[in-house]
Structure 1
Amino acid sequence: MDIMGHDSRRGRKRFAKVKSVAPKLIPFAVSSCLYFVLWLPISNPSWFSALIKCLPTLCLAFFILAHSWGVGTTHPHSKKFVLGLLFSALGDVFLTWGDHGFFNHGVLAFGIGHVFYIAALGLRPLRPGIALLLLLLGAGLYGAIYPCLDTGTLYALGGYSVALVLMSWRALARARCSGYQRSWGALSVAVGAVIFIISDFVLAVDRFCVPLPHSRFTVMSTYYLAQMLISFSVLDHPDHDSLWKRH
């Protein structure tokens, strides 16, 4: 078996994949930079500020569709990831008016988005040990902010926390970190799920418990990064040339 030749082919394919993916991410990169450059005040929400906030997420939905069109094949669950991103964008819109009675609407929209992510990620392999660890982590984080919550947000954030934990479980369960089964898309989704947990926890602590320094920048930068990494799930597709004999 020509191992060096195989590695060389894999390297060329990875480089070709980067070249094909990078241009499709330009709208996301530009719109993300636009959000941080404009840095519109959240004290005066408007439809323009809502658009600027959700535009990077919408660009990621476009990235998934453009990638599918570009490679000539559709990832089997790409539509579900797109729907998850669209509901996340809707959640961004609601949270723009979060201080005006729409916070729980945003939480619900993001929860539905996670449900679509869960459906896209599937239930195999099961790996219940990861689920148990994440449930304990989720319970601990929710318990930390529980005393700060009022009745209106208590149940909304509880339900959302369950959806986020389940999504993270499926993302981490699918990550394959060794051998010939390595999947960079799956690893990317797993990292994105962990960052999503961090982002949401910082948001909850800052909003309900105690103001944190630079919280808005921390929350939004980690949120956009998490969504981008989750969107990379569609980079996984059958590559018969990379399947080595295993026996």
Structure 2
Amino acid sequence: MLRNILLGFIVVLALYYVFFINSISQPFVMVFKLLPMLLILLLAIMTKAENIIPYKTLIIIALIFCAFGDYTIQWFIIGLACFLVGHLFYIRAFLSTKENTAPLWITICLSIYGLSMMIWIGGSLIKEDNMILAIAVFAYMIVILIMGWTSFKTGSKFAIVGAILFIISDSILAINKFMFPVEYSHQLIMLTYYSAQILIALSIPKYSAIRSKVIQ
């Protein structure tokens, strides 16, 4: 019951920040941005997870780094580094499940998508002689695509959909920042981002149920 109330509170706060950011006083914008993430972290901590302590712990650590990324993204490279570390912990968490193998078509689709984005965005940065940023973006794209690929190993729809939404969110952010302005970019980026984090946090009890069946 308490978890459901907390989840509802997270959704309300996230939607308020996503759609009513212009009504928030500038000194409090970052507070309202971080509040949903802090509550998602609390949701993950409160979640009972028998037999999957490593998975839960890794997800919590990933959420912490992502929260740091939310704050430090104003210094882009620092924020990117925080999110990259967060994704590494998501990857480790997903790999710890060993429930399924990622389908071949998923591997192919993610590879084609990643290569296309690298050529498009990375190529543009290289043309602008911004090699350091191009390398950072390349590294981040590779890591987040691996995160998406490993999510299929969990057997959890929450983790899989969450990972895909994370890729979508970061793709919109990259296009908006480096290529051209995306209409309603704030709403699209943050809505998919919060949804991704909520779903990944919700994969903790979902995966627990899967593990319990296997062990029995």
Measured against the shorter chain, the TM-score band is: 0.7 to 0.9
Structure 2 distance, partners of 1:131, 1:211, is 30
Q: Partner of 2:33 in structure 1? A: 53
From 55, 71, 77, the counterpart of 1:104: 77
- AA at the equivalent of 2:164: V
Structure 1 spans left out of the alignment, 5+ residues:
1-18, 176-185
State how 1:197-208 maps to structure 2 within 5 Å: 197-208=167-178
What is the count of residue pairs matched by the alignment? 206
The yes-or-no answer on 1:147 pairing with 2:147 is no
From 35, 40, 63, the counterpart of 2:43: 63
Structure 2 distance, partners of 1:41, 1:160, is 33
Cα displacement string for residues 113-159 of structure 1 (whole angstroms, at most 9, x for unaligned residues): 00111111116344473434422321112222123322231011111
State how 1:76-225 maps to structure 2 within 5 Å: 76=53, 77-95=55-73, 97=74, 102-122=75-95, 124=98, 125-127=100-102, 129=104, 130-149=106-125, 150-175=130-155, 186-225=156-195
- AA at the equivalent of 1:59: L
Q: Partner of 2:198 in structure 1? A: 228
- AA at the equivalent of 2:11: A
Higher RCO (Cα < 8 Å, 6 or more apart): 2
Identity of aligned residues (%): 27
Structure 2 distance, partners of 1:212, 1:126, is 35
The yes-or-no answer on 1:29 pairing with 2:2 is no
Does the CA-based 8 Å contact 2:88-2:147 persist in structure 1?
A: yes
Structure number, greater radius of gyration: 1
Would the alpha carbon gap of residues 209 and 22 (structure 1) be closer, same or farther in structure 2, given more than 3 Å must change? same
RMSD of aligned Cα (Å): 2.8
- Give the SS at the match of 1:227: helix
